[in-house]
Amino acid sequence: MQFVKSDINFDFIGKKQSAFILSLLMIAITLASLAIHKGPRYGIDFAGGTLIQAKFSSTVDLNTIQAGLKTAGLENSSVQLFGDSAANEYLIRTERSEKKSEGLSSKVSAALAEASGATVEISRFEMVGPQVGKDLREKALKAMFFALLFITIYISGRFESEWIKSGIMAGLLISAVVFAHNIFAYFKWDVGIGYLIAVALIVTLALFWVLQLKYAMGAIVALIHDVMITIGVFSILDLEFTLPIIAALLTIIGYSLNDTIIVFDRIRENLKKYRKESSAVIINKSINETISRTILTSLTTLMVVITLFFLGGGIIHDFAFAMIIGVLIGTYSSIFVASPILLAWQKTSAKF
């Protein structure tokens, strides 16, 4: 099936400056939002605390629920309507977490029932300690970092036959991050794993430049771009970061990489086929030749995640939303970020 005519010749490369400005603007807004909010808004998975999902048999107001929680010893809890208002279901979050949770669910249920005069059903009760939340947060960051590095090995090996060089580089970077983190933890220096990974990614891009791993550099910049902007949207909307959102970010990395590889494959083929053409013409031609497949893949994926967003229920709502943003940004970056980086490389390096 061909969604776009085969003879299309849209000047994607000619729009690269506008695209770079747009990308830089989105990243700047992301960084500003994270600075204003002092980082992402972590859910209890990462921050620790208690999450309770309570369903009432009749309509209750938030003040009544807060009064019941105060009776149960859960002052300063946030209460949020969950799903349709007719369902009378609420999410209750508190930073408090106890080592012994036995009986707390029953205590909360009884206090809410007494305050509201309605029957209360506790359908969800989750408690995460602060140390567990910190460990999960660090492991989530490491998972994304390792995924990006392993992707660079694959890209360098497939497109540039640099399996050994990229493998050694990735191994050294992983070892350095883990070693530095353990040293800081041993001496109790308050240096978060996020800062170490950010520095490691900057060093990675510098090594790509030195080692002339152009395809890997284009792919990794596009992936970092996609993840940062998705995080930025969540930060701007003040949505929580939970384990399902980390799963969504890892899925976005894989989806965006698939799109980028399709375009890179065609660029590599056309570089051999049209040797007399300029790099800009070849890259633009390659994007046009794969644009039909890119759009069809994006549309079919969007149909699924949009359906999940509207019909999947509250539990999967944020995951589906992250996927929608990721699919849109991933499609954009494959065309307007990853490929133009190859052209920028060609203009600053004699080798292409």
CATH number of the structural domain spanning residue 85:
3.30.70.3400
pLDDT at residue 331, rounded to an integer: 92
Q: Does one domain contain both 214 and 310?
A: yes
Q: Which two tokens stand for residue 84?
A: 């349709």
The pTM for the full model equals: 0.83
> Which among 100, 128, 156 is the end of a domain?
128
Q: Does one domain contain both 187 and 304?
A: yes
Q: Tell me the residue range of the domain where 231 lies.
A: 13-43+131-348
Which of 153-157, 193-197, 307-311 shows the lowest mean pLDDT across its residues?
193-197
> Which among 101, 128, 155 is the end of a domain?
128
pLDDT at residue 50, rounded to an integer: 83
DSSP 14: G
Q: Is residue 188 part of a domain?
A: yes
352 pLDDT more than 60: no
Dihedral sign for Cα atoms in the order 65, 70, 76, 77: negative
Q: Does one domain contain both 106 and 251?
A: no
> Which among 73, 105, 128 is the end of a domain?
128
Strand order of the β-sheet with 89-94 is 78-81, 89-94, 49-56, 120-128
Q: Does one domain contain both 87 and 228?
A: no
What is the DSSP secondary-structure string of 19-32? HHHHHHHHHHHHHH
Q: Is residue 1 part of a domain?
A: no
Q: Does one domain contain both 304 and 168?
A: yes
Q: Is residue 5 part of a domain?
A: no
Q: Is residue 6 part of a domain?
A: no
Indicate the burial class of 200 (C-beta count within 10 angstroms; 0-12, 13-18, 19 or more): middle
Q: Is residue 175 part of a domain?
A: yes
DSSP 239: P
Q: Is residue 234 part of a domain?
A: yes
pLDDT at residue 307, rounded to an integer: 93
Question: Averaged over 168-185, what is the pLDDT?
Answer: 77
- C-alpha 228/C-alpha 337 separation (Å) is 14
226 pLDDT more than 90: yes
Which of 88-102, 148-162, 237-251 shows the lowest mean pLDDT across its residues?
88-102
Q: Does one domain contain both 136 and 124?
A: no
Number of domains in the chain: 2
CATH of the domain at 211: 1.20.1640.10
Q: Is residue 341 part of a domain?
A: yes
Chain segment 118-131, per-residue pLDDT in tens: 899 988 888 877 67
Q: What percent of the chain has pLDDT over 90?
A: 18
Q: Is residue 261 part of a domain?
A: yes
